[in-house]
Homo-oligomer: A and B are copies of this chain.
Amino acid sequence: MAVSKKRKTLKVQEAGARLRAAGLRPTRQRVALAQLLGAGHRHVSAESLHQEALKAGMPVALATVYNTLNQFTEAGLLREVVVGSGRSYFDTNTDAHQHFYCEDDGSLVDIPGKTIEVAGVPVPPRGMTIERVEVVVRLKRA
């Protein structure tokens, strides 16, 4: 029998609370997406999250998924990871950590926060501040 994996989701109540805490109105759609994103560390694309919501019986427009992911990112609930032209992921883990990225299959794998050490980052040009030091370890099939 084809056992369909069921991902653990947050309770509506908790998702709503997180949204309010971030200053976002807990609409039906935002709560649904927050529920899907809320449990565990995940890397999603707008398209993949959209599919997931539909399958979970929570219909949401793709435009809303984009809006929501951007709002969550601005609110600090998500982090955006850019790996290739046109391929950008949203990461539910907002702590400092890095990624393996495999160009062949587009997969993104976490490297725990304390693993990689970056030293010697120079002072930024006048009038600029460092927002983040991003390390992506690009992989190829051996």
Contacts and interface: CB of A to CB of B under 8 A. Distances in A.
Interface of A: 82-88, 100, 102-103, 109, 111, 115-122, 124-125, 127-142
Given A117-B118, A131-B138, A140-B129, A100 B124 contact: yes
A103 B16 CA distance: 31
This chain: how many copies in the complex? 2
Contact of A119 (B84, B103, B117): B117
Contact of A115 (B120, B128, B134, B139): B120
A142 to B, nearest CB: 5
A79 to B, nearest CB: 11
A141 B120 contact: no
A102 B129 CA distance: 9
Given A84-B82, A116-B119, A117-B118, A140 B131 contact: yes
Contacts of A83: 82
Kindly name the residue among A116, A128, A136 whose own CB sees the greatest number of chain B CB atoms within 10 A: A128
Nearest to A84: B82
